[in-house]
Structure 1
Amino acid sequence: MDESREGQDRKPPRQAKPPRKVSPTYLENAALHYLKRYAATQSQLKRVLMRRVTKSLKFHGGDKAQALGWLDELVAKLVRNGLLNDEAYARMKAHSLRASGRSTRVIAQKLRMKGVSADVVTQKLADATAEVSDEDAARIWARKKRLGPFRKVASTREENRQRDLASLARAGYPFSIAKKIIDSDPE
């Protein structure tokens, strides 16, 4: 490339847009936009909106207590209108994670990280486990990760047995289930 044109082809770096000033309408629009794209829990939505509030207050100034009041009112309104439902979120997430082969321990951890209460986590985990047992979920995970009986080359199965057991243990399965899956037949 010609050295004289090297600097001319580049665009100047984009300037970051300043954050909008926080208002109840702005928070509601931001929350609805977020909920259109993602399923969320109450605490998760509060964290997302709180980041916006913090940026806005840092740039424009204002009363943090007032903004927090708006945020709490908005979340209560969304819960009342059925747009934000922690139980429905936990049910959907637990069933989808279980169907993809995740262990009970991993599902519980992920739901707690999203801010779902402990009693809801316990209830939804019981529902998901009733449909797909721990052993079935471990088999799904082993098939997905090609562990044990699901390895492409059967001759490497015994060589990688310890590694496969460790992999299932890291995925949150007890040793007894991991051993049963790794030592079983693919069928």
Structure 2
Amino acid sequence: MAKKTPPDRPPNHPPGRPPRRPPRPLTPERLEKSALAYLERYASSAENLRRVLMRKVARVARHHPTDPDQAAEWIDALVARYLKAGLLDDQTYAEGRARSLTRQGASARRIAATLAAKGVERDHIDAALASRDDGEDAAEADRAAAFTYARRRRLGPYRAPDKRAEHRHKDLAALARQGFSSDTAHAVIDADPEE
């Protein structure tokens, strides 16, 4: 005999877990509480915070009558207040994210695309890329990032010597997918492991 799903549990809900409660109706106070909780956990650009809060509005609207235009006004006022208070600063966010991505071995193209996806304006992206270079030219900064990425992924000179030639094209493709130029990728993959 098949087990019946309890009436308070949705049909596709995992067993052993209580069903999620629907969100409470939206108010400016709850929206601000959500914004502060998000900013406690994550650094964010102003546009990214706006998107996160609008997704919350959409979730609440599935359960309660919600005016999205009114909620957008609340969010705009909230973001403006946070910008004025210094809780949000797109330039600082862009510079910090660019430094972090550089340490991970990201190319300038990858950094620019990541920041643009988070809603950072182009002038902030350019300034962040310039600050990431720390006085060296952009090509040298990208080359250093490519070596970092190759070391993390054990590509090119960081691969076992007997496997380098066999995996050369694959390693070049991996660097190209990360946004590095062909010249940079070749310089890194063909580098002498002793250097």
Matching residue's letter, 2:57? V
Answer whether contact 1:98 1:129 (CA < 8 A) is retained: no
Whether 2:116 is the aligned partner of 1:109: answer no
Please give the alpha-carbon distance, in whole angstroms, between the structure 2 residues aligned to 1:122 and 1:12.
Answer: 50
* Residue of structure 2 in register with 1:150 after alignment: 158
Compared CA separation, residues 73 and 165, structure 1 to 2 (3 A): same
Counterparts of residues 1-187 of structure 1 (less than 5 Å): 13-130=17-134, 133-151=141-159, 153-186=160-193, 187=195
Alpha-carbon distance in 2 for matches of 1:51, 1:184: 47
Structure 2 counterpart SS, 1:84:
coil
TM normalised by structure 1 equals 0.88
**How far does residue 163 in structure 1 lie from its aligned partner after superposition?**
1.3
Separation in structure 2 between the aligned mates of residue 28 and residue 14 of structure 1, nearest angstrom: 27
Query: Cα RMSD (Å) of the superposition?
Result: 1.7
For structure 2, the residue ranges without an aligned partner over 5 or more in a row are: 1-13
| Bigger mean CA offset, 104-113 vs 73-82 | 73-82
Q: CA deviation at 1:180?
A: 1.1
Residues 1:12 and 1:185: Cα distance change in structure 2 (over 3 Å): closer
Point out where structure 1 has 5 or more consecutive residues left out of the alignment: 1-9
Taking the aligned partners of 1:167 and 1:63, their CA distance within structure 2 comes to 46
* Identity level (%): 43
TM-score by length of 2: 0.85
